[in-house]
Homo-oligomer: A and B are copies of this chain.
């Protein structure tokens, strides 16, 4: 698979950090949650959340584990993307926020197509809604496993259709080597997304404890 970029993600850099009043923020907000603990005591907790969640929906977005079944071994699609909150380039899976009136599966296939150019041929699995950091924020997603049929004519020359402010480079690694490949990338100075690293942790644990 050809990597693709309008500009290298590694070339972006942070120039300034400004404390922001919640009311000045467009994409996110802070809330105080008042709650009653299990013993009946009133308590407060703080919460960060996205302002973009579709009204009536309970999910922010999707992550896509895109699987390529090749004769040389099963591969997974990864991305390099500059992430301003980290001040560097992060290793992630294709992902994105839900559009109105979209199912999780539709969102996964749309984001996969937009970000990698691939048509997803078969949805293998769709996780429940999972919460990224539930002591801190309510952001969530569903992780969708999608197989890509490389014999499909539409997948012969995949061309991403990125937004004007997206700078994403796609690449693939052997799925069985995901833990070691992520370690190498981290040593090279890339940041690691918890979701992709924890899938790798699961693969590694299955191996360590001979779960099969």
Contact = CB atoms under 8 A, between A and B. Distances in A.
Interface in A186-212: 186, 191-212
B192 A130 contact: yes
A201 B201 contact: no
Contacts of A3: none
Contacts of A206: 202-203, 206-207, 211-212
Contact of A198 (B22, B186, B195, B212): B195
Contacts of A204: 125, 202
B32 A17 contact: yes
A78 interface: no
Interface string A121-156: 000110111111111111111010100000000000
Given A125-B208, A195-B195, 11 more contacts: A25-B46, A28-B46, A37-B167, A85-B138, A132-B194, A140-B194, A143-B198, A143-B201, A175-B209, A194-B194, A202-B204
